[in-house]
Amino acid sequence: PATAVAASESLALSWPVRLWGEFTAKYQGFATESYNTLGQRLGEMQTRITELATQAVEQRVAAALLRMVTQSGRKVEEGIEIAFPVTRRNISEMTGTTLHTVSRLLSAWEKDGIVHSTRKHIVVTDPHRLVVLSGAQG
């Protein structure tokens, strides 16, 4: 039970399932690329499920912010901006925690100079410290 929301203007393409055989026969690489994309998405889902099961809330929220920065970050004077509107409620839903917890964490991180957030807008001002908080290896 989830809903996808486009963060920016998007174009969705689809085709009837009955055309799958024809497409895979006619377009070299179609099936391989489709399966690769599906595999990547399943890997991302597995990572998120593992995070929910094994990580502390602070690590999950930090990891979610890092994912958004990696996927759509844009360099700005203050740091790296998440280039689409994101609310604290969105982050709480992504990380399986409460709105109150996300608000508390973002407020503390703002005081520590790690992020700067306003309504639907987050800039990561100290990406390295966010990586440390996420518990990422490397």
Residues 27 and 83 in one domain: no
pTM as predicted: 0.76
Examine the domain organization and report whether 32 and 66 are in the same domain: no
135 burial via Cβ count (<10 Å: 0-12, 13-18, 19+): middle
Note whether residue 77 is domain-resident.
yes
Q: Note whether 49 and 65 are same-domain residues.
A: no
Question: Does 4 reside within a domain?
Answer: no
Report if residue 11 sits inside a domain.
no
DSSP state of 13: -
Bridge partner residues of 112 (DSSP): none
Adjacent-strand bridge partners of 79: 76
Give the model confidence (pLDDT) of 76-125 as tens digits. 999 999 989 999 999 999 899 999 999 999 999 999 999 999 988 999 99
Do 70 and 21 belong to one domain?
A: no
Question: Which tens digits make up the pLDDT trace of 24-65?
Answer: 999 989 989 989 999 998 998 898 888 888 889 999 999 999
